Chain A
Amino acid sequence: MKKQNKKENDARFEVRLSGSGGQGLIFAGVLLSEAVGVYGGKNVTQTQSYGPEARGGASRSDVVISEGTIYYPKAMELDLLMALTQEACDKYYADLKEDGILIVDSTYVRLVPTDRAYCLEFTRAARRVAGTPVVTNVVALGALSAITGIVDINNLEKVVLGRAPRGTEDKNKAALHEGYRMGQELLKQREAEKAVT
């Protein structure tokens, strides 16, 4: 019985982008949704939590992606959790499926709950390529694209350039591609490790 339920929900791919208020996670959710939905042709629903927790505390944006109709708009069991802070990682890890993907910003997330997690220094990379941590969310999206393949990097580039504030296009583009490169590199490294063991 339980298996059949799972099948019904298998059509859905549920993503949570989490961190602290001000890191641009809702904006990242919008970018991902637009890339996947408008340019990628899939159905998509993006929700967020507002309120006190959006100002400094743990903040999140959920994106549900499906080839079919999305009935329930919020995430039920996460396929992918992106955590940019330790607090967010601790708070939402329990919502991740057993075989779900965890991506963390290891600039801030020191204690990782699983050795299958993808750990990358997004904030440090943002400072390196754009000189500002403001584009950390975009670096993270680039890595998400490389690691999961759920969103095409070219589509992401289109929406990032379309939605970025004027004058910041170059920094955002650099951030996106740096994230993508980091993600690809980590994947390669993982495969090499697999081949060895």
Chain B
Amino acid sequence: MAEDNIKLMQGNEACAYGALAAGVTFFGGYPITPSTEIAEILSREMPKNGGRFIQMEDEIASMAAIIGASVAGAKSMTATSGPGFSLMQENLGYAYMTEVPCVVVDVQRGGPSTGLPTKVAQADTMQAKWGTHGDFFPIVLAASTIEDTYHMTIKAFNLAEKYRTPVTLLLDEVLGHMREKIRIPDSSEVEIVNRIKPTVPPEWYQHFELTATHVSPMANYGEGYRFHMTGLTHDPSGFPTAKPAEIKEKLDKLKSKIMQNADDICAYSEEFLDDAHIVVIAYGITARAAQQAVRIARQRRFKVGLFQPITIWPFPEKRLRKILENADLAIVAELNQGQLIHEVRKIAKTKTRVVGTFRYDGELMTPMQIVDKIKEAHR
């Protein structure tokens, strides 16, 4: 007999229900394949719990709306795919600059441009890091199973609230549409993180106060605290500044908030790495092909292991650097023409050869493509 909390779900459904479990209260978005089910489900479910769902006129406005809603105290999110993610980039930078917690889900499809609406890709990896202008230290997560998707949506909200910053969750067409069994946890099992609230009297409040953790307590609109927000570079009070010392201080704060907390933010998974001379590096849906591939290659006596970044940005470079110390060969597998491989190249010493195996024809990479690369590169 089935237990009530065991369900068969699509990735997009798991994302929507994960968001509800995380306490989402505002969704602003513009439907786009292959992300549409997220909006569809939330438009039905959110009003039942007092949440607000708005279909905006486009993705520029969607991103703006979730920023405004968050500053008014909502837990806000949007969901999109490549073309919409491009339109969101400017306001994503605004959310980062004004330190507004919010969640952006990008269900990746083939690009560039309108590309392949119904086919899989992982080609927004670098866009998620460098899509907005200026220096940008975002938090970006990549899920690889339906159960992951549920929990990582919750994690995206928690990280956004904890670090007062936008968080991007990368899914893809296959993950968004495929179905797997998932155990829905009881609400008591779900950890929820909320933004730090100010404890000072309103007249002392600074919206971007400098703190030891670089995270400033955040008052919401309408709570009696007056503050100013602008995309212009600002001082701790929120008003524009042209003073070099204050400009540097703001940019250092934004970077340090993420990079000094990288150990807390970075998540990854490892398999068979103890004796591995060959390390396969794969993330998102491609990690599933890699898990199968390393098992096949192990049976063929290859000393191969798998490193799966779950946090793509910040890239878990400290841990991977350590792993690569013992590796002769690193194989990066991704559904693009080679993106995250550059991060691996950056940290690999000359002893470790870094090669890539890529697929970008709209189909999922097969385990055998990775196994063949292991055979070919290992000589």
- Residues of chain A touching chain B, judged by Cβ–Cβ distance below 8 Å, are 1, 4-5, 8, 30, 33-34, 37-39, 43-48, 50-51, 70-74, 76
A interface majority secondary structure: mixed
- A46 to B13: give the CA distance in the assembly, Å: 14
Partner of B178, one of A34, A37, A71, A73: A73
Indicate if the CB atoms of A33 and B8 lie closer than 8 Å. Answer: yes
Interface stretch, picked from B70-78, B99-107, B241-249, B285-293, is B285-293
B299–A34 touching, CB < 8 Å: no
Q: A45-B179, A76-B367 are in contact. Are A34 and B8 (CB under 8 A)?
A: yes
Residues of B near A8 (CB, < 8 A) are 295-296, 299
The A-contacting residues of B in range 21-67, CB under 8 angstroms, are 34
The answer on a CB contact under 8 Å between A30 and B179 is: yes
The reply to whether B292 and A38 form a contact with Cβ atoms under 8 Å apart is: no
Establish whether residues A51 and B291, one from each chain, have CB atoms under 8 Å apart when the complex forms: no
Q: Which residues of B contact A (CB under 8 A)?
A: 1-2, 6-8, 34, 118-119, 174, 177-181, 285, 288-289, 291-292, 295-296, 299-300, 364, 366-367
Contact A51 B119 (CB under 8 A): yes
Report whether B179 and A33 are in contact in the complex, using a CB–CB cutoff of 8 Å. Answer: yes
Asked whether, in the complex, the Cβ of A46 is within 8 Å of the Cβ of B292, the reply is no
**In the complex, chain A residues whose CB is within 8 Å of the CB of B6:** 37-38
Shortest Cβ distance from residue B302 to the other chain A in the assembled complex, whole angstroms: 11
B87 CB to closest chain A CB, in angstroms? 23
Q: Is the CB of B2 within 8 A of A73?
A: no
- Cβ contact of B296, chosen from A5, A30, A51, A70, cutoff 8 A: A5
Is B178's CB under 8 angstroms from A46's CB? Answer: yes
Name the residue of chain A whose CB is nearest to the CB of B1.
Answer: A39
The residue that B8 contacts in the complex, of A1, A30, A51, A76, with Cβ under 8 A, is A30
Complex: A39 Cα to B7 Cα, angstroms: 10
Contacts of A47 in B (CB 8 A): 174, 177-179
Smallest CB–CB gap between A43 and chain B, Å?
A: 6
Name the A residues within 8 Å of B179 (CB-CB). 30, 33, 44-47
Cα A20 to Cα B268 in complex, Å, equals: 41
A37 touches B177 (CB 8 A): no
- A38-B181, A72-B367, A73-B174 known; A50 and B288 CB under 8 Å? no
Q: Would you call B366 and A39 a contact (CB within 8 A)?
A: no
Measured between beta carbons, the chain B residues less than 8 angstroms from A1 are: 299-300
In angstroms, Cα B344 to Cα A33, docked, is 38
Known interface pairs A38-B8, A39-B2, A44-B8; A72-B292 also in contact (CB < 8 Å):
yes
* Docked CA distance A71–B280 (Å): 15
In the bound complex, residues from chain B placing their C-beta under 8 Å from that of A74 are 174, 364
Contact sample, A vs B, 23 pairs, CB 8 Å cutoff: A4-B299, A4-B300, A5-B296, A30-B179, A37-B8, A37-B180, A37-B181, A38-B8, A39-B2, A43-B181, A44-B179, A45-B178, A46-B178, A46-B180, A71-B288, A72-B289, A72-B292, A73-B174, A73-B178, A73-B180, A73-B285, A74-B174, A76-B367
CB distance A72 to B181 under 8 Å? no
Complex: how many Å from CA A1 to CA B297? 10
